[in-house]
């Protein structure tokens, strides 16, 4: 193990409070993390890290050394692969919500791999919150308001919850003037265990407070794609995220209703661990993905912010 790898594992161990968690961060074994600490302590000639049942803590000497390690890693992060004489290689593990991952993240990941043939990737496209540390994930795309964490979060843009229906359905049945009227219309839901869902709206353009409306769903399933297919065939109103229907809204195959009651926008972030080396797949992918995904979300916003005549 080289000295830089040892520094990264040591800094990660301090941040995570666990050698095992630090090892998972870099796809290494717990024994490798232990050896990294031993290597640094041997070079320093003194104990740097104390381990107990309560976790890890730096000694006074360890505090001084950790400051140097962080500085070295931060400086290396600014060195490009060409100047460092490095070839990007290794494995990248990324997670994203299933549909956003398939529509938006997968093309970006594939273009990144095309540029770096010695990098391998695993994509976990799952509709659940993935434990990045516990499941060894390097990069996550999150569509949510974030809690504080030790991960770096870069905002990519935002999406909105929108209510849509096909023109044929609207022509036949009309559109609700306010959310409470949805009870009188056919709705498509994502709750296969029942025929009712709680849809959240704001009270109006001048009132940002949230209100919840019980909606009776005539059709419920577990697939957004299947729900959209039903809506496109005139099955009723569906509540989806704006990126999921940007194309259909742009082409007029779906129309958006109740816009002034939509809840606040949902931020989209890319999360990753602090201080990835510039030539690592993590740093390389983040640098590659951020401008591309921001552009994608700007295009979605351009579509959903356009309000055709006659849309409520």
What string of DSSP letters covers 69-98? HHHHHHHHHTS-HHHHT----EEEEEEE-H
Q: Report pLDDT for 311.
A: 47
For residues 96-116, average pLDDT: 94
181 or 307, greater pLDDT:
181
Domain 161-264 classification at class level? alpha beta
CA distance 178 to 203: 9
CA distance 164 to 235: 11
CATH fold label, 3-77: Arc Repressor Mutant, subunit A (1.10.10)
119 or 275, greater pLDDT:
119
**Cα-Cα-Cα-Cα dihedral of 190, 192, 193, 195, to 10°?**
70
- Asked whether this chain's domains 3-77 and 83-156+277-302 adopt the same fold, the reply is no
For residues 45-61, average pLDDT: 81
Give the angle 202-236-238 at the CA atoms, nearest 5°. 45
Q: Report pLDDT for 14.
A: 80
Query: Residue 43 — very low, low, confident or very high, per pLDDT cuts 50/70/90?
Result: confident
Q: Report pLDDT for 113.
A: 94
The residue extents of the domains of the chain are: 3-77, 83-156+277-302, 161-264
CA distance 86 to 278: 10
Report if pTM > 0.85: no
CA 35 to chain centre: 33
Question: Per residue in 146-165, pLDDT tens?
Answer: 876 667 888 999 999 999 99
Question: Per residue in 255-306, pLDDT tens?
Answer: 999 998 999 899 999 998 765 555 678 888 998 999 999 999 998 988 877 6
Name the average pLDDT for the chain. Answer: 84
For residues 51-79, average pLDDT: 77
CA 190 to chain centre: 21
Does pLDDT of 308 surpass 60?
Answer: no
Domain 83-156+277-302, CATH = 3.40.190.10
- Cα–Cα distances in angstroms (integers) from residue 67 to residues 9, 60, 64, 74, in the given order: 14, 11, 5, 11
CA distance 110 to 101: 12
Does pLDDT of 309 surpass 50?
Answer: no
């Amino acid at each position: 193990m080289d000295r830089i790898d040892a520094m990264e594992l040591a800094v990660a161990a301090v941040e995570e409070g666990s050698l095992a968690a630090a090892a998972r961060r870099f796809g290494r074994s717990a024994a490798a993390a232990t050896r990294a600490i031993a290597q640094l302590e041997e070079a320093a000639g003194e104990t740097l890290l104390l381990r107990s049942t309560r976790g890890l803590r730096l000694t006074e000497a360890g505090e001084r050394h950790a400051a140097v390690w962080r500085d070295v890693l931060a400086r290396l992060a600014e060195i490009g692969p060409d100047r460092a004489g490095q070839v990007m290689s290794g494995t990248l593990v990324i997670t994203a919500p299933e549909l956003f991952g398939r529509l938006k993240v997968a093309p970006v990941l594939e273009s990144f791999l095309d540029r770096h043939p010695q990098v391998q990737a695993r994509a976990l496209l799952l509709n659940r919150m993935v434990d990045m540390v516990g499941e060894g994930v390097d990069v996550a795309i999150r569509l949510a308001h974030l809690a504080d964490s030790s991960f770096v979060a870069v905002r990519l843009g935002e999406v909105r919850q929108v209510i849509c229906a096909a023109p044929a359905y609207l022509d036949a049945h009309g559109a609700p003037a306010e959310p409470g009227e949805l009870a009188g219309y056919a709705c498509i839901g994502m709750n296969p265990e029942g025929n009712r869902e709680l849809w959240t709206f704001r009270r109006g353009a001048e009132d940002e407070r949230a209100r919840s409306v019980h909606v009776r769903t005539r059709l419920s399933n577990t697939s957004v794609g299947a729900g959209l297919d039903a809506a496109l065939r005139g099955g009723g109103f569906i509540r989806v995220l704006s990126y999921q229907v940007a194309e259909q809204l742009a082409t007029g195959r779906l129309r958006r209703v109740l816009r002034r009651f939509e809840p606040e926008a949902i931020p989209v972030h890319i999360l990753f661990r602090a201080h990835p080396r510039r030539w690592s797949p993590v740093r390389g992918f983040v640098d590659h993905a951020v401008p591309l995904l921001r552009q994608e979300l700007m295009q979605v916003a351009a579509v959903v912010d356009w309000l055709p005549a006659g849309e409520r």
